[in-house]
Amino acid sequence: MYAEQNPWHQTGAVPEEWAPPVRRALAHYLPSRLAHDAPRRFQLVLGPRRVGKTTALYQTAGALLAGGVPPERLWWLRLDHPLLMQVPLGELVQGVMRAAGASGDSPLYLLLDELAYADQWDLWLKTFYDDRWPVRVAASSSSTAALRQGRLESGIGRWEEQFLTPYLFLEYLDLVGQSRPVPVGDSLADTIERCIAGGVPTAGLAELRTRFMLTGGFPELLLAFGGQAPDDATALLRSQRVLRSDAVERAVYKDIPQVFGVDNPLLLERLLYVLAGQVGGVLSPTSICQKLGSMSQPTFDKYLSYLERSFLVFTVPNYSGSELANQRRGRKLYFVDGSVRNAALQRGTSPLTDPTELGLLLENLVAGHLYALAQQADVRLYYWRERNDEVDVIFDHPSHPLAFEIASSAGHSRRGLQRLKERFPRFEGRCWVVVGAGQRSVRPTASPDGIGAISLDLLLLAISAQAARDLARRLAAVPPT
């Protein structure tokens, strides 16, 4: 079993099929973070299923070996293996340390896949850290157990969480050999300015973006189905069946019940389907509970939090300029990746012929990208609604906030953005309408009403590049390996 999980002990290298050459930003910086380990921290890689967490760890293993780490001091433990699940994590690690001859001068590099399957994993990591076991740890988890009660107290000052979200648009273009150069600044506002000034090319991206939106940011599916024509219904349905089985049903019927003891996962699945029909809308718990019949509002609140902590959906509160008021008001819901919503409902190519549904998926695409960036930049997302005025998404950077309205047509109203900047002057010069392919990007300062226009594809490229930059900022006290 150990030999099967650690073939480099015999070969000196990670098999190429486990660690493909195209690496995400996390896999570029994580090896150096582990090798230098300053400040000393364990690394927890969290995110939805199928986004490439295991691949990123294998690529990290390959980079560590290439950087001179002896193979015998690099160990992989797949903790959802039936045999390993029966052994306390401390006993496993003690055995591996003995086999590797680990010491303070020769630490063990320990890669733990599906950490949450180890009983009391958080207490064991605390022990490894506080008792100064000679280990450097990188671990992955798709399970909500990684966020369970008690984790925060154990984790403070001991480990860092790195969120691996589904692929962003620029990463997809890299994957399929269609990359674009994107100048990156210190903030998203700066990067947008540089992209407009530099004339980043976006011609020919609309069809690729549609494929990406429908297939989702999941690397295996992108490689298998992301090259299909956007209207290839058969390929998309195959892709959605895989995603529904692996990302949706495993979370609903395995991960969440394992951690929280949910005894009615069917009701949880039904809730997810109802939420899938309300993307971009303000949640009404009372209405949703009535639709489900047997669900109380406390159960709704719990189940929604489970879906959020499983990285399937996220919610954003209404912006008010006051944190207390933000928390009291209604929330909008999005899927972390809109393709998960499509997979849950088995929509195939239907959104392409329904302008309303397509508009909601495009809004989810922008919101999902901003959510991914927010995880790296420690920025909050909001929407804004006051009476009949609304703005789709607010990226509440402390010094460079941005507001976005995703246009559904060339004549899309700018009234919400106008009212927002009148109500909150900090958004003056920072409001944007997101327009379709072929429409010209215009800075707010060059627009008569002070509201800018940015093409959807350019915005997605800017967000993608900024997310990679901010991830590097989080990890890169040292250069990438």
Q: For 121-146, write each residue's pLDDT tens digit.
A: 989 999 999 999 999 999 998 765 55
Q: Are residues 189 and 98 in the same domain?
A: no
User: What is residue 150's predicted lDDT score, i.e. its pLDDT?
Assistant: 47
DSSP secondary-structure letter at 308? Answer: H
pLDDT in tens, 330-364: 899 999 999 999 888 888 888 888 888 999 999 99
Q: Which of 82, 22, 84, 8 lies closest to 52 in space, CA to CA?
A: 22
Which pLDDT value is given to residue 446? 93
CB atoms within 10 A of CB 343: 28
pLDDT recorded at residue 97: 96
Cβ atoms of 434 and 403 within 8 Å: the answer is no
Verify that 354 and 308 share a domain, yes or no: yes
Q: Cα 360 to the chain's mean position, in Å?
A: 19
Q: Last residue of a domain, which of 107, 135, 164?
A: 164
Q: Answer yes or no: is 478 within a domain.
A: no
Distances from the Cα of 39 to the Cα of 46, 110, 138, 156, 160, angstroms: 20, 17, 14, 13, 11
- How many CB atoms neighbour CB 287 within 10 A? 11
Residue numbers of the domain that contains 39: 2-164
CATH number at residue 158: 3.40.50.300
- Asked whether residue 479 carries a pLDDT value surpassing 80, the answer given is no
Q: What predicted TM-score, i.e. pTM, was given to this entire model?
A: 0.91
Residue at 314 is within a domain: yes
Q: In the predicted model, is pLDDT for residue 385 greater than 90?
A: yes
Please tell me the total count of domains within the chain: 2
Rounded to an integer, the average pLDDT of 90-112 is: 95
* pLDDT tens digits along 392-420: 999 999 999 999 999 977 778 999 999 99
Max distance between CA atoms of the chain, in angstroms, equals 70
Query: 23 pLDDT exceeds 80?
Result: yes
Same domain, 143 and 212: no
Q: How confident is the model at residue 327 (pLDDT cuts 50, 70, 90)?
A: low
479 lies in a domain? no
Could you say which of 164, 187, 222 is where a domain stops?
A: 164
Same domain flag for 124 and 193:
no
Beta bridge partners of 134: none
Tens digits of per-residue pLDDT, 44-63? Answer: 998 888 899 999 999 999 99
Same domain, 210 and 195: yes
Q: Are 464 and 169 spatial neighbours (Cβ–Cβ below 8 Å)?
A: yes
Q: Domain check: are 241 and 144 in the same one?
A: no
Residues 225 and 87 in one domain: no
Q: Per-residue DSSP letters for 224-253?
A: HHTTS-TT-HHHHHHHHHHHIIIIIIHIII
Q: How confident is the model at residue 151 (pLDDT cuts 50, 70, 90)?
A: low
Residue 476 lies in a domain: no
- Quick one: 179 and 212 in the same domain? yes
Beta strands in 398-451 (DSSP E): 402-406, 431-435
| Same structural domain, 443 and 398 | yes
Instruction: Please write the tens of the pLDDT for every residue from 216-252.
Output: 999 888 887 777 777 777 888 888 888 888 888 888 8
Q: Are residues 34 and 159 in the same domain?
A: yes
Shared domain for 269 and 394, answered yes or no, is yes
Q: Does residue 82 fall inside a structural domain? A: yes
Same-domain pairing of 97 and 243: no
Q: What is the pLDDT of residues 418-428, one digit of tens each?
A: 999 999 999 99
User: Residue 477 falls within a domain, yes or no?
Assistant: no
Residue 426 lies in a domain: yes
Identify the domain boundary among 149, 164, 179.
164
- Is residue 480 one of the residues assigned to a domain? no
